């Protein structure tokens, strides 16, 4: 009887994987050509890219014209970017007086110190910086409109990208307090308050923003007293604020709901009244959880500020469309829309990444 028992003196050294499952080829096989279907998809994707990328590159960069004063200076087959140099000021600042443009820049720059203490609460001096955050909307409004020593700029000079940013920011900042109140109202013990808050939130979430724009232009003046002359941009900001506060309310309500009941009970046990409990215990936690949602609401609102075009305000998109109505720049739609898209994309994409990052961090913290 022989035994099958066999021993060996040395360990078997691990052999390298077969060459085809490693390195570039292996990666390609695993990710692009794992089956015939997968391979077909890859070929389709490559074909799509081959269609799009070289064409766009050639049109947008290689064959494009960058200098000139009218579209007739653009002789090549590609895009005509000559207008960027001529019109960039209008695209950014609308009809804001050029010698005052520093005020817009300053207002936008000040946004950074105003946001920092809200976003990073462990920042040194955050307690004091927060007062600045609270004051920021007023500081910015003062800078943009002027008065009290600064040259006054009527709001009908607002335009271009600055108008989008101003309406978007004003809408979101002003809607925060209202949104929080509405969220609390929707969770209130008082049936009437709950009913009113719910009705407001659902109404404003159910109606398209365009109708709000029309209401701002056509209806709001009927609701206000005769001497109460608000210009169109102020009216738009009011209605955008109401619209956004309904969305913010739902975000904050989500934050409130995510808190464990114990927090409410603990606050009550400490003998805190409703408002103090909210202010000191509940809201700080709920709002922190809500920040990603608020950022997402802002992204949506910011994109929607382009809707002011339907009531004839000159935001960046309207400046663009009216520029291509100019005989000198007729027919440059694709260039203009591509340019504006990149603007919005860069900003919104960055913000959405940030909100995603926050969401992940909050998830980890829990």
Partner 1 sequence: MLAGIVALLAWLVANTAHNLETRGLKTGFGFLKDPAFFDINQKLIEYSSRSSFGRALLVGLLNTLLVSALGIVAATILGFAAGMLRLSRNWLMARLATAYVEFTRNVPLLLQLIFWWSLLTGLPGVQDSLSLGNVAFLNNRGARLPAPSAEPGFGMVLAGAGMAVVAAIAVSAWAKRRRLATGRGFPVAAIAIGLIVGVPTTLFLALGQPLAWDVPQPGRFNFTGGIQVTPELVALWWALSVYTGAFIAEGVRGGILSVARGQTEAAYALGLSRGATMRKVVLPQALCAIVPPLTSQYLNLTKNSSLAVAIGYQDLVSVGGTVLNQSGRALEVVSIWIVVYLGLSLLTSLFMNWYNRRIALVER
Partner 2 sequence: MRTPRAWIAAAAAVATVTLSGIGVTNAATLEDVRAAGTLKCGINTGLPGFAYTDDRGTWTGFDVAYCQALAAAVLGDPTKVRYVNVSAANRFTALASGEIDVLSRNTTWTFQRDNELGFTFAGVSYYDGQGFLIRRSLRVASAKELNGASVCIQRGTTTELNLADYFRANNLRYEPVPIADNEEARVAYVAGRCDVYTADASALAATKSALQNPNDHMILPEVISKEPLGPLVRQGDERWSDIARWTLNVLLAAEEYGVTQANVRDMARAATPNPEVNRMLGSEGSLGAMLGLAPNWAVNVIAAVGNYGEMFERYLGARTPLGLPRGLNALYKNGGVLYPLPMR
Q: Which residue in 55, 154, 177, 208 binds partner 2 (CB under 8 A)?
A: 154
Instruction: Return all residues near 69 (Cβ < 8 A) that are at least 6 apart.
Output: 82, 86, 328
Radius of gyration of the chain (CA): 28
196 binds partner 1 (CB under 8 A): yes
Cβ distance to partner 1 smaller for residue 123 or 224: 224
Q: How many CB atoms sit inside 10 A of residue 351's CB?
A: 15
One-character DSSP codes across 292-353: HHHHHHHHHHHHHGGGGGGGT--BHHHHHHHHTTSGGGTT-HHHHHHHHHHHHHHHHHHHHH
Distance separating alpha carbons of residues 293 and 358, to the nearest angstrom: 10
Distance separating alpha carbons of residues 71 and 335, to the nearest angstrom: 12
Cβ distance to partner 1 smaller for residue 28 or 266: 28
Residue 331 falls in which region: left (phi positive, over 0), alpha (psi -120 to 50) or beta: left
Secondary structure letter of residue 80 according to DSSP? B
- The region of 31-39, 164-172, 221-229, 299-307 touching partner 2 under the rule CB under 8 A is 221-229
Q: Which residue in 238, 306, 319, 329 binds partner 1 (CB under 8 A)?
A: 306
34 binds partner 1 (CB under 8 A): yes
260 binds partner 2 (CB under 8 A): no
With b for 16 or more beta-carbon neighbours within 10 A and e for fewer, the 14-35 pattern comes to eeeeeeeeeeeeeeeeeeeeee
Q: Which residue in 16, 19, 149, 225 binds partner 2 (CB under 8 A)?
A: 225
Distance separating alpha carbons of residues 239 and 214, to the nearest angstrom: 10
Name which of residues 18 to 77 contact partner 2 (CB under 8 A): none
Cβ distance to partner 1 smaller for residue 45 or 84: 45
265 binds partner 2 (CB under 8 A): no
218 binds partner 2 (CB under 8 A): yes
Distance separating alpha carbons of residues 363 and 366, to the nearest angstrom: 5
224 binds partner 1 (CB under 8 A): yes
Shortest Å distance, C-beta 279 to partner 2:
12
CB 198 within 8 A of CB 262: no
Q: Which residue in 206, 226, 262, 271 binds partner 2 (CB under 8 A)?
A: 226
Shortest Å distance, C-beta 217 to partner 2:
5
72 binds partner 1 (CB under 8 A): no
312 binds partner 2 (CB under 8 A): yes
193 binds partner 1 (CB under 8 A): yes
Shortest Å distance, C-beta 121 to partner 2:
27
326 binds partner 1 (CB under 8 A): no
Shortest Å distance, C-beta 310 to partner 1:
5
CB 163 within 8 A of CB 94: yes
- The region of 72-80, 99-107, 217-225, 273-281 touching partner 1 under the rule CB under 8 A is 217-225
84 binds partner 1 (CB under 8 A): no
Phi, psi (rounded to 5 degrees) for 32: -120, -30
Cβ distance to partner 2 smaller for residue 79 or 215: 215
223 binds partner 1 (CB under 8 A): yes
276 binds partner 1 (CB under 8 A): no
Residue 146 falls in which region: left (phi positive, over 0), alpha (psi -120 to 50) or beta: left
Distance separating alpha carbons of residues 175 and 62, to the nearest angstrom: 46
Q: Which residue in 334, 356, 357, 360 binds partner 1 (CB under 8 A)?
A: 334
Interface residues toward partner 2, by CB under 8 A: 95, 154, 156, 217-218, 221-222, 224-227, 229, 231-232, 273, 275, 310-312, 321-322, 324-325, 327, 330
């Amino acid at each position: 009887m022989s035994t099958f028992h066999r021993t060996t003196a040395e360990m078997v050294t691990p052999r390298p994987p077969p060459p085809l499952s490693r390195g570039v080829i292996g990666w390609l096989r695993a990710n692009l050509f794992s089956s015939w279907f997968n391979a077909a998809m890859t070929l389709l994707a490559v074909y799509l890219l081959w269609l799009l990328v070289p064409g766009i590159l050639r049109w947008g960069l290689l064959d494009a014209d960058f200098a000139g004063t009218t579209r007739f200076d653009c002789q090549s087959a590609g895009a005509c970017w000559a207008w960027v140099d001529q019109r960039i000021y209008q695209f950014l600042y609308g009809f804001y007086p050029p010698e005052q443009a520093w005020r817009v820049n300053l207002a936008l720059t000040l946004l950074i110190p105003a946001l920092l203490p809200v976003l990073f609460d462990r920042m040194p001096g955050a307690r004091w910086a927060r007062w600045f955050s609270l004051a920021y909307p007023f500081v910015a409004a003062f800078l943009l409109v002027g008065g009290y020593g600064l040259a006054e700029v009527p709001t009908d000079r607002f335009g271009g990208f600055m108008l989008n940013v101003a309406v978007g920011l004003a809408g979101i900042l002003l809607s925060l307090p209202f949104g929080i109140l509405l969220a609390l109202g929707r969770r209130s013990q008082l049936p009437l308050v709950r009913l009113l808050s719910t009705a407001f939130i659902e109404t404003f979430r159910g109606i398209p923003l365009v109708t709000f724009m029309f209401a701002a232009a056509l209806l709001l003046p009927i609701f206000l007293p005769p001497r109460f002359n608000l210009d169109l941009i102020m009216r738009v900001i009011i209605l955008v604020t109401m619209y956004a506060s309904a969305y913010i309310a739902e975000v904050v309500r989500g934050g409130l709901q995510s808190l464990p009941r114990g927090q409410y009970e603990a606050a009550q046990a400490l003998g805190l009244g409703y408002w103090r409990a909210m202010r000191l215990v509940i809201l700080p936690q709920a709002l922190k959880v809500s920040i990603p949602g608020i950022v997402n609401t802002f992204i949506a609102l910011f994109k929607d500020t382009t809707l002011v075009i339907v009531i004839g305000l000159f935001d960046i998109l309207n400046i663009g469309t009216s520029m291509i109505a100019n005989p000198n720049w007729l027919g440059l739609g694709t260039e203009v829309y591509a340019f504006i898209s990149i603007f919005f994309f860069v900003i919104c994409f960055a913000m959405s990444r940030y909100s995603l990052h926050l969401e992940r961090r909050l998830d980890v913290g829990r």
